[in-house]
Amino acid sequence: MLLTDDPFAMAILAELSVGHSPGGMSLPRLAKKLDLGASVLLRQLSMMGDAAIGGHSGPGWVRVVQTEDRWVVHLTDAGRAAIEPLLDQ
């Protein structure tokens, strides 16, 4: 299954695009908005980033960074391009 066929991935991208700010969205805030645990969300985000998992690189839709003790999720240009057609419907 492609990630674009995954409602969970699309919900994450949609939430990040609606709440888009240059500073990203904190992981706890995103988890709360989606009513999920942070660990569940991090597993999905790892597949949506650009890391190689199982020998295949992800699509690079999100970037998760840690600033001091705060985890922040950023929507990348690739993520914005993936979700825009679905938001225009």
DSSP structural state of residue 4: G
The pLDDT, as a whole number, for residue 87 is 73
pLDDT of residue 86: 75
Distance from C-alpha of 11 to C-alpha of 69, rounded to nearest angstrom: 26
> DSSP character for 50?
S
| Sheet containing 62-67, strands listed edge to edge, beginning at the edge strand earlier in sequence | 25-26, 70-75, 62-67
Parts of the chain with a pLDDT under 50: 1
pLDDT at 12: 94
- Domains in the chain: boundaries: 3-87
Q: What is the pLDDT of residue 4?
A: 62
**What's the full length of the chain, in residues?**
89
| pTM reported for the whole predicted model | 0.84
Q: Which CATH number fits domain 3-87: 1.10.1580.10, 1.20.1300.10, 1.10.10.10, 3.40.30.10?
A: 1.10.10.10
